[in-house]
Each structure stands twice: as structure tokens, then as C-alpha cells.
Amino acid sequence: MNSIPRTGPALRLPAARAYWVMALLLAAFVVLEGRDIYLQGPRSRFLRNQGSARYSRIIEIPAHRGMILDRNGHPLAISTPVKSVWASPADFRASPDQMAQLSRLLGLPSADIASRLADRALDFVYLKRLMPPQDAQQVAALRIPGVFLQREYRRYYPTGDVAAQLIGFTDVDDKGQEGLELAYQDWLAGKPGSRRVIKDRLGHIVQDVENITAPRKGHDLTLSIDRDIQYLAFRALQNAVVASRAESGSLIVLNAKTGEVLALANLPSFNPNNRDKAAPADTRNRAVTDAAELGSVMKPFTIAAALQAGVITPNTQFQTAPGVMSLDGWTISDAERNGLLTVAQVLQVSSNIGAAKIALRLTPKQQWTMLHAVGFGQIPDTGFPGETAGDMRPYAAWRPIDQATIAHGNGISASLLQLARAYTVFADGGVLMPLSFVKVDSPVQGRRVMSRTVANDVRRMLELVVEPGGTAPDARIPGYTVAGKTGTAHKVRRDGGYARNRYIASFVGMAPASDPRLIVAVALNQPSAGHYYGGEVAAPVFAQVMAASLRRLDVPPDAPSTQAAPPAAAQPAKEAT
């Protein structure tokens, strides 16, 4: 007989317990669904960002800085691609042998590298900036985990020390720090771009996802500088500083028609491509930022003021004997006894007494107004960083002795750049020209500050300075007429007095004098080789630079080619200091 298997009683939950289980399951489902909605809704952006942060990076793409060019397109500053070595401290792993090789390639002690990588919470640490690409590739070849290369740009200056203070330099981030690099930072600097990449856990780029912003190259800057004239100006100044054993020197070449600066040189100089040993003082553009009392180069402006006011004519005579003059308890003297001199002769032999007597025919306001009109006491407004306004006190405080001394360049200070600009009034028929370090392509409008007749009268007087009997026959140039003025000034001490045996020798002039094309200004600070007069140490530098510059620009001669410098036996007139 077949047996039928028996089963136990069916398992049944109490109704209340079933309801509780179903409620808990439903609640869990609701919580999970709510969490899902929350994560994919309000928190979705945060979570995506957190995920991206673990594998996605936005890398900055450096921009190429614009070139600086001379007026003829020759490069004066260019940016070259280089590599920088950086590391992720958390990912850095190097064997002792790798560390030794890395230390050698970077030129850093191993202890220094270890110190930089000590904080493992950092994501990015530079080990070496701006390395040549071939050197950086040797670092990459070590295959050290956590060490990477980054592309950057380094500024290079082909002319080296020749135009260092003028061009300036950039810092390690390729930002202008001095000179025209700083003045035109916004123009030269490009705008960095960016791109998104995916990196693995070691920081290696495994996928280039997208370019977010393309880098924008900086604008090129074309200067007024002529590279060839800059070279010859620098070399001539260098030779003069060495020969005269001067403490420093500056030289400027201007286009008299446009006010463009064709050359500007300073010594001592420095190599902007390697500034490790450069003294801070050597990076200063002395011709623009430093002001000093420059002496008798100021006399033409007092004479121009007197001619403009109608209180003298070029043939008015002044008695300068016996070579000394007392005024307000002070003594004014000439280097030589000259006797009765015309106004033109006062300039030719540079008589302090004659200049003082001319100034005293003016009111302080008349004298000050002329000096102010040609730019003294004012910033030249070239845009060059740190340009000085010099020092010229308000005329209301001037005493007769102040008028007399300012007439021959004491009690008033100016930069060499201000002085060179002021002389454009004699080169351009009474019109003061604005200065520019950038190439000018359109006609330049100056500002008239004196009549054409007065300007031309003074220029003719300045031609006598370089003739035999003047203070600067060494400024003559065969084939060209020259007009200019010497300056020899005692240096001002820190206590306000004048140093007895320390001088600034200067010369500023123009050529061809019949229709000036160029103005050259030279100043030598503290020559100590036995000669210190402007006509002895500065005028020959002027002649050398002016002659070469005129040839460079193909300026036709305006005088007989047989014209020669005076014989060695002929002595220039001694200039009063």
C-alpha cells in the first residue's frame, strides 16, 4: 500500500509582523530612492567635480611674449621655449642612484631636493625653472615617478649689455621687471590658455580631452632704437669711461626731427641674460632716472630767454674782467680772464660771469619760464619707469645769486634725457619735440617755446663753441658743421655743498648745424685720469658717435670735406666750473 508523505503545518507569520516587515522594506526602498535622487540631483555637480578632481586636470598653456625689435626689425628681446622640472611629493619615488643623477642634472644638493619634497600634502613643487630642453630631457630620461616637465618661455637678449638698462628684463615668470619690458608689460605679455587632460594616479597625462582656451601671443614692440647706432654709442662710451677712469657714463642719440631715441647707453652695464652677479646700481638707466647739476650746458637757455625778452642782442657786450664777480656775498669766477665779450663769445668761451650778467637782466619769472618751457623740472613723459623730473625751485624763492648760478647750471638738476630733449628747440627752430622710445611712423607735432629767430641765433652761437677759441674744438667732424655746448660741473656732496675735485663732464650738440638731423648728449661722471673738462673728455665721444651715426643714416655733408680738427698744439678755451 502506497504511503502518502506527511507534511508539517504551513509556516505563517503573524499579520502584524508581516506588516512591519513590509513597512521596513518599503522605507528602505524610499530611503534608497531618495538618496539616489539626491545624489543625481542637487549633489550631482559636486560628485562629478570630485570625480574629475581625481583624474581630470586643467593645465595652463603659457603664452608667447611679444618680441622687442629695433626700428629695422632686428630682435632686441625674444622668448625661447624652455622646460621646467616639477614634482608631486606624494608620488615621488627615487632610488639613491636616481637621486644622485637628479641632483647632478638640476645642480641642486640632494638634501635640498628632499627638503622641497618633504611636505607630501603638496601636489606641485618646482625643482628647477627654465632649463634648456636638452637638459630637461635628461631629467625625464631618469623616469623617476612623480617628476614631470612643464613647457615655459625664457627671455633672451641678443645685444646683451649693450642696451641692458634700456630694454630691461623679465622675471622667472616672464613678466617685465625693469626698463621697456616693464613699461610695455601689458602690450608684450600674452594671455595664457588652458586645456583639460586626464591623468593616471602617478600624474601622467593619459588623454588630452579638450582645449578650453587657446593662448594668445603678446604683441611685438618696435622701438625707435637703431641697433647699429646703439652698438657704436655703447662702445664709444665704454672706451671713454675706461680712458678717463670715470665712475659711470651715459650717452643719448636723438633724431632731431622726430624726437625718437636712436640710442641710449649707460655704463656700468650688466648682462640681462645672466643677472646673478649684476649689482642693483648697474641695472639703473642713469640717463633717464638720475638727475645732476650739469653745468654750462644750461647757458644757452638763459641766453635764449634774454633774447626772447628783448633785453639783449647777439652782439650785446658784457665786461667779464677781472674774472671774478661778487654777488650776495658769493663769488662767481671764470677759468680765464676774458675781458669784454659779446653774447656769442660768452657761449663760445663759456663765461660764468657773462651768463650771470645776462640772467640778471631778466626777472626770475622770465628765466624760470624759459627753463620750464623746454622741460626742466618736469617728467619727460616718455613712459619709461622711474624717469626723473629733476629739480628746479619755484622762481618766487630765487635771489639774484640763484639767478646767476642757475644761468651756468648750478642750483638746477636734470637728467641727460631732459637735457637732450631741451636742445631740440635749437635744432627745430624753437619747437620742443616730444621724445619716443617707440618707432614713429607719422609726422610729429612739437610745441613752440621760442621764436625761430631766437632759436637760430642761439644755434649759430653754439657753432662757435667747436671752433678754435671755443671750449670744444675736439667736437668738430670733418665734412659737417657742428653746434654744441660743453658742461663741467662740480658734483654736489650729500651735505649740500660741492665736492672740490669731483666733476661731471658733459657735451651736447647737433649736426649738421645748417639743418640738424641728430642730437648727441654725453655725460661722464667723475673722470679721474687727469682731465675733467667737458671739452676734453666728453666732446671727443660726441664727435665719434655723431660722425658714425651720420654716415649710418647717409646724411649728406654740409661743409668742405677738407675740414679737419684743430692741430694738437691748439688748446681749447678753459671752461668755468
Q: Which residues are catalytic?
A: 296
Q: What are phi and psi of 2, to 5 degrees?
A: -75, 135
Stretch (H or E) spanning 486: strand 483-492
Cis (ω within 30 of 0) for the bond into 145? no
Which of helix, strand or coil describes residue 211?
strand
Contacts of 322 (CB under 8 A, 6+ apart): 337
Pairwise CA distance, residues 464 & 458, whole Å: 10
Q: How many of the other CB atoms lie within 10 Å of CB of 208?
A: 11
Instruction: Please give the C-alpha separations between residue 238 and each of 225, 233, 244, 537, in angstroms, as whole numbers.
Output: 19, 8, 10, 12
Contacts of 414 (CB under 8 A, 6+ apart): 291, 292, 294, 376, 390, 422
Q: Is 227 left (phi over 0), alpha (psi -120 to 50) or beta?
A: alpha
* Residue 67 and residue 170 in contact, taking contact as beta carbons nearer than 8 Å: no
Pairwise CA distance, residues 70 & 438, whole Å: 9
Which residue type occupies 60? E
Pairing of strands 221-222, 68-69: parallel
Contacts of 27 (CB under 8 A, 6+ apart): none
E-state strands within 141-238: 147-156, 169-170, 176-178, 193-199, 205-213, 221-222
Pairwise CA distance, residues 233 & 482, whole Å: 18
Stretch (H or E) spanning 501: strand 498-511
